[in-house]
Amino acid sequence: MQEVSEYFQIPTSTIRFYDKQGLLPLVERNVTGQRVFPPVQMDLLQLIIHLKETDMSLRDIQKYMELV
Task: Give CA–CA dist 19/36, Å, rounded.
Answer: 12
Average pLDDT over residues 41-64: 94
Band (pLDDT 50/70/90 cuts) for residue 24 is confident
CATH at residue 42: 1.10.1660.10
Average pLDDT over residues 40-58: 94
Task: Give CA–CA dist 29/56, Å, rounded.
Answer: 28
HSE-CB of 56 using CA atoms within 13 angstroms: 16
- Could you list the residue range(s) of the whole structural domain that residue 63 is in? 2-67
Number of domains in the chain: 1
Is residue 50 within 8 Å of 10, Cβ to Cβ? no
Q: Please, what is the average pLDDT of the chain?
A: 91
Residue 55: what pLDDT?
96
